[in-house]
A and B are shown apart, each in its own frame.
Chain A
Amino acid sequence: MSEVSVPPAGRKLFVRQSSGLVREVSVTNALFFNAAAFMGTGVAWYATFYTLAFVPIGVAGFTTYGWAAIIVGVAAIFLGLIFASFTSVMPRSGGDYVFTSRFIPKAGPFLGWVESFTLVLASLAIVAFEIPVILRTVQISGLIIGVGTGKYFFEKVNNWYAQNGVITGWPGFVASMVVLALIFWVVIQPTRRLHKIVTALAVVAIGSAVLLFVFGALSIHQADFAANLPKYANGITYSQLVQGAESGGVLGHGVQIFNSLFPFVMGVVLLNYIGFQYSAYIAGEVRGNIRRGVLIAVLGALGVAVLTNSVFVDVLSRKLGVPGQLGWGVMFWSGDPHTPFGQPNTLPLGATIAHPGLWPVWLLVSLGGVISPFVLCPAYIAFMSRVSLAWSLDRQVPEWFGKVNERLGAPINAILTCLGIVGVLMILMNFPLLPDSLAPPEGKLNLVATLWFSIFMAALTWIMPAVNAIVAPFTRKDLMRGAPWRLWLPLFGLIWLAIMAITYWFAGIKPVTDFVGRATGESGLAYYNRTGLSFTIGAFVVAILIYVVQTVRNRRAGVNLAMMYQEIPPE
């Protein structure tokens, strides 16, 4: 075996004048956007996510959430390296679908399909979740103006596109459709304009995060927050928030990593981290030194994710008082009528209460908080359109699904389907069209309540890259021969798989078998419906059904699926 070492300078290739070769891609741009894209709700809402899992959050340096972000982040380094290795030998659009379908013998196309289909559904559910977040953050921006200026109009923001203060019904639906239309408008822009728009939005999103951190760290104090809160929030005191945290079961004492509740928090972090792997896909476009380029794009984006989910949110939350943030958050998620302002504890809102004189700064940040979940949506739609193109070429879906529209240069049918599904989810979220048994208590789809088990829908997305890393060096020996870190891939896969197994066992499977949170007299089916597990199982069933139907169609059309992935002897 010839040895590999660090190259000396000067003895490179002789390249033909008319080579068609292009120069190395700058990955810093990729890093910048990918960091912005998966921040999503983050800039404003990270502190609210502390209590999404309804488990105790304590402080030991970092909060429990912060420690989960760090631990998952460190583990995700292995995932990043796995993706980077794969994309360097198979630089193809389509995400992990491409790898699973090609690396796993026989069952690969099926597993790849189910993995990517459920990821697409999970992503669409996240887009549908982000739209009300965008709307609420607009309301909160109005609240900030109201607090800062005392203008009555801006104190009544909870009635903006809302019914009895809740974004629902026709007002909520119409507002959601406006946001969806804006997303569609962005997605169908010509390439250069699309990139200018998204880059500008990403600059604003990241800029607002930086602004919040700098001004927040310097100017807000818990004492000020506690003193001002009753004045602006109808007499609610800081002590009442802390009491809310205690009665909500989210006030932790210290941080316990090795208990069965910590994986719940890791699950929430994973949800926030969906999207960092998109930065791995740009790695396939890197020329020249792949390892260096990938390390910047993939691990850089991951580093930003860890910093924002730990240092950024914990420093600011401590400035406002962590127990108070926990109480406010759990009151919001549980629909407590005493929730301050009837809104979540976004960091810009908390900062405004603590230091109302700087309301223009907090307003800018809050508007950045409107933009950052918005930026995520076109990125998701673009990614899903590439996956659907890969499906179409592999005949996993009918050809028309991946057909590229000439004028737009994009698979418009796939894009419209994705947006259509989001539209359907918006209808189900705003109108009581579902049976109460399926969507308690009012028959409206509650994506927050189902978020916990929506994590289940992304299970294969998190697990299959580990499986691929373990098997690919053996099942695709020839292909993987030149892959970076080839000898280490099975170990990377095992480490990531172990962490996912622990997370999904404690945060997913065990709560289901233990009926965690089951109400007295609640049947098993009602429990599964309420928590969204039925929805998740249904998604897997639909995926399998589509695969079966498409397989039958392909066979009838004479398409030999076994031929499509057949190995060819190279000698």
Chain B
Amino acid sequence: MGKRGVRLYVVSDIHASEKAWRKMLNAARMRLYEADVVLYAGDLTGKAMVPVVQTDRGYEAELGGQQRVARSEGELAKLEQDIANLGYYVLHTTHDEIDRLHGDRTALHELFVAHIRARVGEWMRIAAERMEGSGVPIYLIPGNDDPYDIDPVLAASEYCVNADGRVLDIPGNLQVVGSGKSNPTPWRTPREVPDDNFAEELTRLAEEARDPRRTIFLIHCPPHNSGLDTAPLLDADLRPTVSAGDLLRGPVGSTGVRRAIEEFRPLLGLHGHIHESAGETKLGSTLCLNPGSEAAFGILRGHVIDIGSSGVERTFRVEG
């Protein structure tokens, strides 16, 4: 840690992108940012499965609105890697099976859970393998998009520590209060809670911390109307509204998180959830930030924060 106290490297919303996860691990173990601690602010899992069907032309899949055909094992590996780097899951299947799954939501859900657990498990394994001996701990939380099915996988991780719903000591005489929940969204994601309940939960958790000035809120959902929660406003069809040549945007963060921060006044608020709303802001004396995310594009965005004895000394955005 040396003269500059402790350096945190904060990342969020990788959403199952293989490339982004590996970049995060490499950035940590290779000390590219000289970070002492990695904090991951939620949303580990992907949003979609891509059917890959073997035909007489080869292995076919539709990706990004275009048909891809892999004619060899090498091309297939490349196609699978591209799918995984986007944050999607590969589903080797047949046309008949695809038709069946379209009509069987239960089976589809079970398939998703299986793929999600498999990738999260693989990620925990890679993390243990690559980070062993690095001396850089990884504290993470799931996000609102992540089903509870991954919690046992996270609990079994040999290296990464799940901070969700907990108050943990971390290097630098700091504590982390973790929550992967969010306020209600149009998609009814797995980990949503009404704002009033959210505020109560966070307050109960925060009361376990020793000293607000040495406490970090690692809360997936950003505080309401903070500039870190500005998202496109959607119509009833979940379509972003365009007006006057631009997207209509508005605050979608949690009033509960905001209330908790304003009452407890932690040192730092680390958030994610709204990928396009990267930034820093102060709520009272608390510095809040959202590193944003472009994981699906292969870009790993993050924030570096130096914390000394008197508090936050510097922050700057990083990307690779």
Residue in contact with B242 in the complex, picked from A29, A198, A482, CB distance below 8 Å: A29
Residue interface bits B255-286, CB-to-A below 8 A is 1, else 0: 00000000000000000000010111100000
A513 within 8 A of B: no
Residue interface bits A15-46, CB-to-B below 8 A is 1, else 0: 11111111111110111111001000000000
The CB with the most chain B CB atoms within 10 A, among A1, A24, A27, A482, is that of: A482
Given contact pairs A90-B299, A288-B65, A409-B227, A11 touches B294 in the complex (Cβ within 8 A): no
Q: How far is the CA of A206 from the CA of B97 in the complex (A)?
A: 52
Q: Which of A271-312 contact B (CB under 8 A)?
A: 278-279, 282, 285, 288-290
Given contact pairs A30-B242, A90-B299, A18 touches B232 in the complex (Cβ within 8 A): no
Residue in contact with A563 in the complex, picked from B33, B67, B250, CB distance below 8 Å: B33
CB atoms of A25 and B247 under 8 A apart: yes
The CB with the most chain B CB atoms within 10 A, among A16, A279, A389, A478, is that of: A16
Given contact pairs A19-B187, A30-B245, A564-B319, A13 touches B88 in the complex (Cβ within 8 A): yes
CB atoms of A20 and B185 under 8 A apart: yes
CB atoms of A194 and B244 under 8 A apart: yes
Chain B, Cβ-Cβ closest to A482? B64
Residue in contact with A570 in the complex, picked from B23, B101, B185, B189, CB distance below 8 Å: B23
Residue interface bits B225-241, CB-to-A below 8 A is 1, else 0: 11100101110011110
| Residues in chain B near residue A338, CB distance under 8 A | none
Q: How far is the CA of A560 from the CA of B244 in the complex (A)?
A: 39
Q: How far is the CA of A45 from the CA of B85 in the complex (A)?
A: 51
A520 within 8 A of B: no
Q: How far is the CA of A482 from the CA of B30 in the complex (A)?
A: 27
B161 within 8 A of A: no
CB atoms of A568 and B95 under 8 A apart: no
CB atoms of B67 and A285 under 8 A apart: no
Residue in contact with A399 in the complex, picked from B48, B51, B91, B280, CB distance below 8 Å: B280
| Residues in chain A near residue B60, CB distance under 8 A | 11
Residue in contact with B95 in the complex, picked from A11, A20, A402, CB distance below 8 Å: A11
A565 within 8 A of B: yes
CB atoms of B98 and A11 under 8 A apart: yes
B318 within 8 A of A: yes
Chain B interface, DSSP helix/strand/loop, else mixed: mixed
Q: How far is the CA of A208 from the CA of B157 in the complex (A)?
A: 66
CB atoms of B48 and A16 under 8 A apart: yes
| Residues in chain A near residue B210, CB distance under 8 A | none
Q: Tell me how far the C-beta of B12 lies from the nearest C-beta in chain A, rounded to whole angstroms.
A: 13
Given contact pairs A3-B69, A11-B95, A23-B239, A404 touches B314 in the complex (Cβ within 8 A): no
Residue in contact with B48 in the complex, picked from A14, A29, A557, CB distance below 8 Å: A14
Q: How far is the CA of A409 from the CA of B281 in the complex (A)?
A: 12
CB atoms of A393 and B317 under 8 A apart: yes
Chain A, Cβ-Cβ closest to B79? A2
A337 within 8 A of B: no
| Residues in chain B near residue A21, CB distance under 8 A | 47-48, 238
Given contact pairs A22-B238, A563-B304, A566-B320, A289 touches B65 in the complex (Cβ within 8 A): yes
| Residues in chain B near residue A259, CB distance under 8 A | none
CB atoms of A191 and B23 under 8 A apart: no
Q: How far is the CA of A147 from the CA of B280 in the complex (A)?
A: 57
Q: How far is the CA of A24 from the CA of B187 in the complex (A)?
A: 16
B50 within 8 A of A: yes
B118 within 8 A of A: no
Q: How far is the CA of A90 from the CA of B145 in the complex (A)?
A: 23
Q: Tell me how far the C-beta of A1 lies from the nearest C-beta in chain B, rounded to whole angstroms.
A: 7
| Residues in chain A near residue B66, CB distance under 8 A | 4-7
B251 within 8 A of A: yes
The CB with the most chain A CB atoms within 10 A, among B33, B69, B251, B298, is that of: B298
Q: How far is the CA of A91 from the CA of B278 in the complex (A)?
A: 13
| Residues in chain B near residue A29, CB distance under 8 A | 242-245
| Residues in chain B near residue A389, CB distance under 8 A | 279
The CB with the most chain B CB atoms within 10 A, among A7, A34, A289, A557, is that of: A7
CB atoms of A11 and B62 under 8 A apart: yes
Q: Tell me how far the C-beta of B17 lies from the nearest C-beta in chain A, rounded to whole angstroms.
A: 10
Residue interface bits A364-408, CB-to-B below 8 A is 1, else 0: 000000000000000100100000010001110001001110100
CB atoms of A558 and B4 under 8 A apart: yes
Q: Tell me how far the C-beta of A339 lies from the nearest C-beta in chain B, rounded to whole angstroms.
A: 36
| Residues in chain B near residue A514, CB distance under 8 A | none
| Residues in chain B near residue A571, CB distance under 8 A | 22, 26
CB atoms of B243 and A404 under 8 A apart: no
Q: Tell me how far the C-beta of B165 lies from the nearest C-beta in chain A, rounded to whole angstroms.
A: 20
CB atoms of A26 and B22 under 8 A apart: no
Q: How far is the CA of A33 from the CA of B62 in the complex (A)?
A: 33
Q: How far is the CA of A269 from the CA of B316 in the complex (A)?
A: 40
The 6 closest A-B CB pairs, nearest first, are: A33-B245, A568-B320, A404-B227, A195-B243, A198-B244, A7-B67
Sample of 6 A–B contacts (CB below 8 Å) = A11-B95, A13-B51, A13-B62, A14-B49, A393-B280, A560-B316
